[in-house]
Structure 1
Amino acid sequence: MATEVKHLRFQKQSRLNRVYSPDILPRLQSLLADLADIDFACQHKLAAIERGLGDESIKRRKIALLWQEHQESRAPYVAALEELQEQAKDCFQQ
């Protein structure tokens, strides 16, 4: 029982001594989950293109377009991650 009390005391103290904003971690997790969803969808579409029948040159064009769309859809999330990284750095430089 005494161990639990010490543990709770430690948790309370660590919450009070945080040097970063508590919203950074949930935002980071959300951005990473969104990027994972985008990547998964792209891989699924890529696999469908590769499995499909048809001219290889058409497949290559479809794949090139897919990668372009993939990068464009990821760009705002990557930018948000970079902003979040700067916020985290600022917390530790104060």
Structure 2
Amino acid sequence: MIFNDEHSHISSGRNGYQVYDPGALPQLQSLLAILADIDVDHGNNLRLIENKRMDDASKDRMIADLWQKHRKRRAPYVHEIDSLRKRMIAAFR
């Protein structure tokens, strides 16, 4: 059975229960935990740089490099979350 309104598409199996990948929630929780760890690590590194005694230009370069590394480190996990989101949406159509 499929319930439709203009905002949602939820499909139910023959027994009336929603059909979805049961591993999706643990996978999402794991990915979010990894991202949280990455963000905490980044925050700690950022504070270390901000508290260093050095000229502002060097500090700005170090901070810019740190942000670039942070985005690069997060990217595969953000991509995986987006892929998971798309699979979950597709499962309910």
TM-score bracket, shorter-length normalisation: 0.7 to 0.9
Structure 1 unmatched runs, 5+: 1-15
Q: Displacement of 1:59 after TM fit? A: 0.4
Match of 1:22 in 2: 22
Structure 2 unmatched runs, 5+: 1-15
TM-score (normalised: structure 1): 0.80
SS of 1:78's partner is helix
Q: Percent identity?
A: 45
Q: Displacement of 1:82 after TM fit? A: 0.5
Q: Which has the higher contact order (CA 8 A, sep 6+)?
A: 1
Q: Which amino acid aligns with 1:47?
A: R
TM-score (normalised: structure 2): 0.81
Q: Which has the higher strand share?
A: 2
Which has more radius of gyration?
A: 1
SS of 1:18's partner is coil
Runs (4+) of structure 1 exceeding 2 A deviation are none
**2:77 aligned with 1:81:** no
